[in-house]
Amino acid sequence: MNPRPDSPARSARRVAFDVVHAVSTDDAYANLLLPGRLREARLSAADAGFATELTYGTLRGRGFYDAVIERATGRAVDRIDSPVLDVLRLGAHQLLTLGTPPHAAVDESVRLVRQVGSARAAGFVNAALRRVSERDLDSWRAELSRGISDPDALLAIRHAHPEWVVRALRAALAAEGREDELDALLAADNAPPRVTLVALPGLADAPDDDRDERTAFSPLGIRAAAGDPAADAGVAAGTRRVQDEGSQLAALALSRVRPARAGERWLDLCAGPGGKAALLAAEARTAGATLTANEAVPARAELVRRALAPVDPSLTVRVGDGRGIARDAAESFDRVLVDAPCTGLGALRRRPEARWRKTVDDVAPLATLQTELLTAALDATAPGGVVAYVTCSPHLAETRDVVDAVLGARDDAVAIDTRAVLASVTRTPLDLGDRGTAVQLWPHRHASDAMFIQLFERRR
């Protein structure tokens, strides 16, 4: 029996389409848009789970599914109307990965394309997805791999990553002497992560072994219960926040590098959307220090204000280019976080669309911006103060190369052994490769985003 027009399964598919299409056409962020759409749809836990997997799985495999669709239709994807293409992507994910029966996946996709205003494409969608269903996932991988011998190109097909990303990740692992972990890393990028929370010091009860499922490394980390984390009372109150364990460690490396003195001035130079800023503000508050947050984009600065409000609504949120902070600030700072804009290759588990959104041409301009921001942060730091350079990317051009460039250009900054600092912070030891004084976290090794962290001291 076909489901009713308003059935939950059909509603789940529509939620997934709306989010996937917003990502395709408006550069929306799925992790920001999907939770609200799920709440609006009032789906059951099971149907919300289906919508979530359908959304993230389709975005994760988009490049692979596009290649399948081109083979099945004989038409380049840029010649397919955007709503129709997104329906085909959702249908391909159901057929090849979710194991949805072909008749259900095809029929519901045809119904969906009519629902979103492309009724004339119903026959095209029907025929295309029937062609897709003629092979299973492994057979399609074999078909798309035919005649290809380059190992990175083959891994790109197998794990649905752009080739340039595969090569960048291989180089980053090779720099640690762990190139043989590339397959495991790519697989981890495609595994939905557990949601983790941070208990803000002084505002939330400290994590408790008897009450909470604690994270492996962060002393403030908690693994969230299944379901919508917004239902957590602490999250609703702003005293606990959804935050990846790697982000927690990046903030704690700065706040706990040494005991803070009352009256210290801290700065989050690139604060949006505010997660690390909230943790730093809570840490500063317990020590009698004060945090200033800076964000270049006004809309993101408003998110920072909301994030800081539970800690202290009077904290200063400056809107402006962080590269001018040394010129504009009345005084220098004792601790500065530079959570620099980057390719986001370290967060592909949580933001699966990011792998298709960035290109190799984005790396050089970002690396230039990162170098300028780190330079500005050091200029704004008082002698004896500390700077934390952080990126959610393991790309060498955004990590080691930036650090080397800045240290090579000035004699008033020295790298701090960040590995030793975090060894004194984490609950259990981090398994780190050869990164000198820096820390590189990995999804497959630490179950966190691939956060890069390097501390510096401004010489007296």
Which pair of structure tokens corresponds to residue 228?
Answer: 């919508």
Distance CA 138, CA 212 (A): 40
Catalytic residue among 169, 195, 386, 392: 392
d(CA 251, CA 235): 19
110: left (phi over 0), alpha (psi -120 to 50) or beta: alpha
* Nearest alpha carbon to residue 449 among 154, 215, 209, 175: 215
Per DSSP, the residues of 246-273 read HHHHHHHHHHTSSPPPTT-EEEETT-TT
DSSP secondary structure letters along 214-234: B-SS-TTEEEPPSS-GGGSHH
Q: How far apart are CA 299 and CA 290, in angstroms?
A: 23
- Print burial letters for 201-238: b (CB count within 10 Å at least 16), e (below 16): bebbeebeeeebebbebbbbbbbbeeeebeebebbeeb
Under 8 Å between Cβ of 236 and 230: yes
Size of the chain in residues: 460
Q: Which amino acid is at 139?
A: S
392 is catalytic: yes
Give the residue numbers marked as catalytic: 392
